[in-house]
Amino acid sequence: MKKKIAIFGSTGSIGKNTLKVIANNPNSYDILALVANNNAKILIEQAKIAQPKFAVIANSKLYDEVADGLKDFPQIKILHGIESVNEIAKIKCDLFICAIVGMQALRPTINAIRAGSNIGLANKECLVAAGDIMLKEAAENNVKLIPIDSEHNAIFQIFEHNNIKNIANITLTASGGPFFKLDASEMQNITKEQAIKHPKWSMGAKISVDSATMMNKALEIIEAYRLFPISYDKIKVVIHPESIIHGLVNYNDGSTLAMMSLPDMQVPISYAIGYPKRIKIKHQHLDLAKIGTLNFYEADADKFPSLKLARDVLEIGKNAPCILNAANEVAVSRFLQDEIAFMDIFKINMEVLKIMNYNNINSLEDVILFDKQAREIAFNLFKKDNGITISN
């Protein structure tokens, strides 16, 4: 039988690559739903080809455009609005691809878990902020969380769950972003244009800035702690600019298992949608002789305080990871709007963690509340009209 796939965030990079993988295996998958936020044009193009049962545009203002674009496809039910996004997530499928960026993915993902759909997780923020809730719901509903982020997918492939006592530590690799070779003094005057210009990949602005601050890796440390039964002090990070080795598991006997591939998101996506089997995709095979040299550098937590913050919030526990994620989303948004300097992102994150109270998270409503409180502090505390600045 064909697997039913729902792609939430279909017009982004993960969604597009998922559809490419499925197109190479057309007899194995059916598309239940394609869900987009604002990109009506691409959603229409995708729906014409993929023929989903549902095409959902979150921005209701774009409903007429999508409906007109798909008027010759009456078999596709077109829905709009955030409530429709949340409701469609309640329909059980074989794999729910969570490729929506940020905390707006939380409610539909929880709905999908409660429906009994396995999750292909390409969203860091939800697991960081609401990891305990997601893991509890997944266990209660017998749902697998299959990571799509290349680093966690790599660890997922080589982590021997039946041999945990002999795992010494795991290592996540990082490209290093655009600034890892800069001296700390050179980072004071980084511009928005420099921060969003990743040396290797074209990504969204928020993700690009997270790469530049290495907050993406900080969030991945927290995510790895949620996904794998290992203490946070056993999660290492190494900078590897070539992005060939995506993750390593180090064992007590001195052995190290590494997952390697060319940097192509179709590889982890194919593993997620084929799991527990492997499927064939169109890709270049890894040729180490052609690559020649692989480089590795220590991740400098003094220059990139995000890495230390990740370990600090894991030590604190409770709602601290949720606070960090919320503060960072606001700080990055303000940087992209030219309200604060690059280094202020780190300062806002640290300051919000100092101000907020630490409490247990017992429900989805708790996550939403703490997320809101942290965002309000991050948004308001450092405005110049309050007489407080942090750039100097």
pLDDT at 282: 83
Q: Of 313, 171, 154, give the one whose Cα is nearest residue 230.
A: 171
Is residue 134 within 8 Å of 105, Cβ to Cβ?
no
CATH architecture of 3-147: 3-Layer(aba) Sandwich (3.40)
Q: Of 271, 236, 248, 8, give the one whose Cα is nearest residue 117.
A: 8
Percent of the chain with pLDDT over 70: 97
Euclidean distance between the first and the last CA atom of the chain, given in angstroms as a whole number? 61
Q: Of 4, 22, 29, 35, give the one whose Cα is nearest residue 98.
A: 35
Cα-only R_g, the chain: 21
pTM (global) more than 0.85: yes
What distance in Å separates the CA atoms of residue 31 and residue 46, rounded to the nearest whole number?
11
Whether 307 has a pLDDT exceeding 90, the answer reads yes
Is residue 47 within 8 Å of 73, Cβ to Cβ?
yes
Give residue 390's pLDDT band: very low, low, confident or very high (50, 70, 90): very low
The pLDDT tens digits for 270-305 are: 999 999 999 988 878 899 999 999 999 999 888 899
- Please compute the mean of the pLDDT values over residues 234-258 and round it to a whole number: 97
Q: Could you write out the DSSP letters of every residue in 257-279? A: EEEE--S-THHHHHHHHHTTS--
pLDDT at 354: 96
Place of tokens 């606070």: 323
Q: Could you write out the DSSP letters of every residue in 99-154? A: ---SGGGHHHHHHHHHHT-EEEE--HHHHHHHHHHHHHHHHHTT--EEE-SHHHHH
Segments making up each domain of the chain, as ranges? 3-147, 152-262+285-298, 318-386
The pLDDT tens digits for 154-188 are: 999 999 999 999 999 999 999 988 888 888 778 88
**Fold classified for 318-386:** Rna Polymerase Sigma Factor; Chain: A (1.10.1740)
Compute φ and ψ for 58, nearest 5 degrees.
-70, -35
From start to end of the chain, where are the E strands? Answer: 3-8, 29-36, 54-57, 77-80, 95-98, 118-121, 145-147, 167-174, 235-239, 245-251, 256-260, 297-298
Place of tokens 């998922």: 18
What distance in Å separates the CA atoms of residue 99 and residue 255, rounded to the nearest whole number?
34
DSSP designation for 383: -
Is residue 142 within 8 Å of 115, Cβ to Cβ?
no
